[in-house]
Structure 1
Amino acid sequence: MKPFLAVLALRSAWNRRFTLALTIASIALSTFMLLGVERIRSDLRDSFASAVSGTDLIVGPRTGSVQLLLYSVFHVGGARNNIGWNTVQALKAQPAVSWVVPLSLGDAHRGFPVMGTSVEIFERFRHGEGQPLRLAQGQPFAQLFDAVIGAEVAERLGYGLGQRITLAHGGGELEQDSHADKPFGVVGVLARTGTPIDRSVLVSLQAMEALHADWIGGIRLPGRAPAALPADLTPKSVTAALVGLKSRAQVFSVQRWVNNYSGEPVMGILPGVAMDELWDVIGPGEQALLAMSGLVALVSMAGLVAVVLAGLNERRRELAVLRAVGAGPVQVMGLLALEGLWVTLAGLLLGLAAQWAVIAATGPWLQSQFGLSLQLALPSAAQWTLLAALLVAGLLASLVPGWRAYRLSLADGLTPRI
C-alpha cells in the first residue's frame, strides 16, 4: 500500500504541476539562498585560511591586528606607516627567528597590487596545506627590473614571458603618477594558488627603491629629470614582514620581543589568531544572511501549506472517493503529506541545480574580481544538514493540510453542495 500511495501522491502532484510550480520555485529559491550562503561562508573561510600558511608571525607598524593581516596578506586597505629596515635586521638577528621575508606595498599595475619582496619568498612562502609557490613559466626575478606575475595577472592581461610593463605609484593610473621611465620585464609567471598572490606583481625590494629614487615624500617634483640610480638600493623601510621561527614553541616570546621593541612602535600578530578576530567581526553578517535565508525558507513552507489548503476544498470529493474505496484516514493524511514531500524534494533539487549552475557560470569571475574561489563540489556536511532540515520542514508543513483532510468526513465529501 505504501509504494502505491507514494506513486499516487506523485501523480496527483504532477496532475497539479502548474498550480504547484510557483511553490516549487519558491522552495528552490530558499534552497539556493541557504546553500549559497553556506557555500560562500565555508569557501570564503577556506580561501582566507589558505592564503598564508607556514608563517608564524606577521610584523608591521603598530595598528589593529585585523588591519595588518588584511593589507599585508590580502592587499586590502593600506598601511598608515612603514617599519624601518633596521627593525627588520634586528628581527632577523633574533636567535629564535629562522627567516624573514619583507614586503613593500603601495604601487600597482593596471589595478593589480605590486609587492616588493626578497627572492626568498619563493622558497619560504606557503599557502594552502603548506604548498610552496611554484613557477608555471620562467624563473624568479634576478635582475633589478625583473618582475614575476601571478596567474590571474597573466590570464586577465594576456601577459607572458618577456612582456614589458610599467608600474603606477600608489595604485594610481594617472600619467603623472606612473613610473613609465623605469619599465620592468616579466621573467616568471606563478602557478595558480587561489590566494591574493595570483593577483600580484612581484618585484625585488631593490627595484622598489630604484622606482622611487627620484621621488620625495611620495611626490615626483614637476620638471625634474630622472635621477641616476644610487649605488646603494637597500630599502629604508618596508610595509610588513613575514616571519618563520625555528620552533613554534617560541612564537609568544618573539611576539613579546616585537611588541616591546624600543626602536619604533611595531607589533607582531599570529595569522591564525588574527583570522579568528576577522571572523568575529564578520560573523554577525554571516548569521544575518543565514537568518534571512531561513525566513525565505519559512515563507516558502507557508506557501506550500497555503497552496495545498487552497486546493483541498476542490479535492474533497476526490478524497471522499478514496475513503469510499477503502482508504483510511491515515492513508488520506499520508497522501497529502507525501504530495508535499514530493513538492519539497523537487524544490530542493531545483535549488541545488541552480547553485551548481551559478557557481559554474560565475566562479571564474569571482576568482578574478575578488579572489574568492568557489568549489563546484557535492554538498558539504553542513549543506546536507540544511537540505535535510528543509525536507523535514516540508514534510511537517504538509501535515497541516493532511490533518485537515483527515478530519473531512466521508459523508461531507459525498454530499453535493448547492
Structure 2
Amino acid sequence: MHLLRIALASLANRRFIALLTVVAIGLSVCLLLAVERIRSEARASFASTVSGTDLIVGARSGSLNLLLYSVFRIGNATNNIRWESYEALARHPQVKWSVPISLGDSHRGYRVMGTSEGYFEHYRYGRKQSLRLSEGRAFAADPFEVVLGAEVARALGYHLDQELVLAHGVARVSLVKHDDKPFRVVGILARTGTPVDRTLHISLAGMEALHIDWQSGMPARGAARIDAERVREMAACSEDQLCAQALQPKAITAVLLGLNSRVATFGLQREINQYRGEPLLAILPGVALQELWSLMGVAEKALLLVSLFVVLTGLVGMLTAILASLNERRREMAILRSVGARPWHLALLLLLEALLLTLAGILLGLTLLYLGIAIGQDPLQAEYGLYLPLRIPSSYELTLLGGILCAGLTMGLVPAWRAYRQSLADGLSIRL
C-alpha cells in the first residue's frame, strides 16, 4: 500500500507527462477496440445482407458469382432461368414463398431490378428486419412505377411522382435509353445499409414492357414501336390471354426461396442442382456469404495488425516517458533509499507506475469507445446498416486488454531494471 501511494504521488507530481501518456494509450486502445467491434459487427452485418432466405437459385455457374449478382448487384448472370422453371420451383411442396428477380437495365450507374410484390413482403436483411418504405408505396398494377432505394433517391435528388428514364444495359453511360417508356417514382425505401439502397425496383411486367418491342437486341422503329400507353392498355386487359402473355416474363435472372422447413433445405438444394429441365444452381446464402468474407480475410487481419501497432506505439511512448524521467528522479530514489527502501522496492515502484499508466489508458480507451458508440450508434445504423450494441467487452476483447496490460507491465521492466541498477550504484548519494 505504501508503494501504491508513493507511485500515485509520483505520477501526480509529473501529472502533465503522465496525462499525455494515458491519453496516448487510451486513444490507441480505443482505436483497437473500435476496429475489433466494427470488424466483428461488419462481419455479422455482411453475413446477414440477406436473411430469412433459405436458397438462392440461378443459372448454373459459381456460387460466388450467383451471390454477387443476385444480392450485391455486381456482375452479370451467365444465363437466365426460364419462366416455366421458376413456376415449377414456386409450386414445389417444400417452397413457402418465392421471389423472382430480373436484372439487366440501369439508371445513371444504379442497377434496376424487376421483381414481384412479394419482394417487399419476404425480403429480410440484418437481424431479419423487413423492408420499410420511408415515403410512398410499393408498385402496383401500373407497369411503369418504380420504388427507389434510399441511396438512389438521396444521391440523385429524386422525390415522389418524379419521372425518370431507364437505360438499357448496366454501363454508367448508355447509348440506348427507354425514352418512350418513362417510369414514375411511387415509393422510396428506408435506408438498410445493404445493396437494396442502391437499387431501383420495378415490377416484372415493367421490365418486360421495356423490351416488348425490341427485336434482335435493338428497339423497334416506326409502326412496330409500342409506346407506354399501349403497354398500359395491355396490362389493363389482363383477362385477355394474349395481353397477359405479352407482359409475362419469358425468363428471369434468379429466384429467392423461403421453405416450409429448414430441414428440407439440403434435400431441395440437391434436387434443384439435379433439375433436368435446365442447368440450375441453388446456394445457401449464409454459406456463400461466409465464403465471400473469407476472401477479404487478409485486409481484415491487416487492419487489426495496424491497430495493434498503434497500441504498441502508445506503450513505447510510455516507456520513453518513464526512461526520460529516470535521471531527474535519482534524487528521489536516493531519498527513498535513505528512509529504508531497498533497490527492489524502487524497481517495483517503476513497475507499479507502468502498470497504473497502462491501466488508466485502458480505462480511458473503454470510456472513449462506449462514448463513441453511444453518439454514433444511430448514424452508423442509418447510413451503413451497421449496428454497434452497447455491450460489455467480449472474451476476445478482454483477452486483447489483458495482453495490453501484460505488454505495459513488460515495458515497465526496462525502467525498473535501470532504477534497480542505478540505486545499487548510487547508494544514498547522487552520482550524475
TM-score of the two chains, using structure 1 as the length reference: 0.85
Q: Does 1:180 find its partner at 2:179?
A: yes
Deviation at 1:375, TM superposition (A): 3.1
CA RMSD of aligned residues (A): 3.3
Contact 2:370 2:390 in 1 (8 A): no
Contact 1:141 1:188 in 2 (8 A): yes
Q: Does 1:72 find its partner at 2:36?
A: no
Aligned residue number for residue 59 of structure 1: 57
- What secondary structure, in the 3-state scheme, does the structure 1 residue paired with 2:410 have? helix
Aligned residue number for residue 194 of structure 1: 193
Aligned residue number for residue 373 of structure 1: 386
Q: Where does structure 2 lack aligned partners over 5 or more consecutive residues?
A: 235-242
Cα deviation, 1:282-312, whole Å, max 9, x if unaligned, reads: 2343233323433443344344334423432
Number of residue-to-residue matches in the alignment: 413
- What secondary structure, in the 3-state scheme, does the structure 2 residue paired with 1:176 have? coil
Aligned residue number for residue 315 of structure 2: 301
Aligned residue number for residue 92 of structure 2: 94
Cα deviation, 1:175-198, whole Å, max 9, x if unaligned, reads: 623333322112122233333223
The code of the aligned residue for 2:117 comes to V
Contact 1:141 1:204 in 2 (8 A): yes
Aligned residue number for residue 253 of structure 1: 267
Task: Measure the CA separation in 2 of the matches of 1:31 and 1:217.
Answer: 62
1:89-238 superposed matches below 5 A: 89-142=87-140, 143-174=142-173, 176-216=175-215, 218-220=217-219, 226-228=225-227, 229=231, 231=243, 232-238=246-252
Contact 1:317 1:414 in 2 (8 A): no
- What secondary structure, in the 3-state scheme, does the structure 1 residue paired with 2:101 have? strand
Task: Measure the CA separation in 2 of the matches of 1:364 and 1:49.
Answer: 21
Deviation at 1:57, TM superposition (A): 0.4
Task: Measure the CA separation in 1 of the matches of 2:274 and 2:250.
Answer: 21
1:322 counterpart (336, 345, 354): 336
The code of the aligned residue for 1:264 comes to E
Contact 1:36 1:355 in 2 (8 A): no
Aligned residue number for residue 239 of structure 2: none
Q: Does 1:271 find its partner at 2:285?
A: yes
Contact 1:70 1:77 in 2 (8 A): yes
Task: Measure the CA separation in 2 of the matches of 1:359 and 1:218.
Answer: 53
Q: Does 1:393 find its partner at 2:411?
A: no
Deviation at 1:58, TM superposition (A): 0.3
Contact 1:316 1:413 in 2 (8 A): no
Aligned residue number for residue 4 of structure 1: 5
The code of the aligned residue for 1:312 comes to L
Deviation at 1:241, TM superposition (A): 0.7
The code of the aligned residue for 2:103 comes to L
Deviation at 1:395, TM superposition (A): 2.5
Aligned residue number for residue 240 of structure 1: 254
The code of the aligned residue for 1:392 comes to C
Deviation at 1:397, TM superposition (A): 1.5
Q: Residues 295 and 96 of structure 1: is their aligned pair in 2 closer, same or farther, counting only changes over 3 Å? A: same
Contact 1:35 1:355 in 2 (8 A): no
- What secondary structure, in the 3-state scheme, does the structure 1 residue paired with 2:92 have? coil
Q: Residues 416 and 172 of structure 1: is their aligned pair in 2 closer, same or farther, counting only changes over 3 Å? A: same
Q: Residues 130 and 363 of structure 1: is their aligned pair in 2 closer, same or farther, counting only changes over 3 Å? A: closer
- What secondary structure, in the 3-state scheme, does the structure 2 residue paired with 1:116 have? strand
Aligned residue number for residue 17 of structure 2: 16
Task: Measure the CA separation in 2 of the matches of 1:324 and 1:219.
Answer: 98
Deviation at 1:266, TM superposition (A): 1.4
Q: Residues 148 and 155 of structure 1: is their aligned pair in 2 closer, same or farther, counting only changes over 3 Å? A: same
Deviation at 1:373, TM superposition (A): 2.3
- What secondary structure, in the 3-state scheme, does the structure 1 residue paired with 2:135 have? strand
Contact 1:154 1:189 in 2 (8 A): yes
Aligned residue number for residue 344 of structure 1: 358
Indicate the larger mover: 244-253 or 212-221. 212-221
Deviation at 1:117, TM superposition (A): 0.4
Contact 1:9 1:336 in 2 (8 A): no
- What secondary structure, in the 3-state scheme, does the structure 2 residue paired with 1:148 have? strand
Task: Measure the CA separation in 2 of the matches of 1:215 and 1:327.
Answer: 95
Q: Where does structure 1 lack aligned partners over 5 or more consecutive residues?
A: none
Deviation at 1:330, TM superposition (A): 4.7
Task: Measure the CA separation in 1 of the matches of 2:272 and 2:202.
Answer: 27
Contact 2:52 2:123 in 1 (8 A): yes
Q: Residues 340 and 172 of structure 1: is their aligned pair in 2 closer, same or farther, counting only changes over 3 Å? A: same
Cα deviation, 1:352-394, whole Å, max 9, x if unaligned, reads: 63896599689959975xx462637466414344234323321
Indicate the larger mover: 107-116 or 352-361. 352-361
The code of the aligned residue for 1:395 comes to L
Contact 1:169 1:178 in 2 (8 A): yes
1:280-295 superposed matches below 5 A: 280-295=294-309
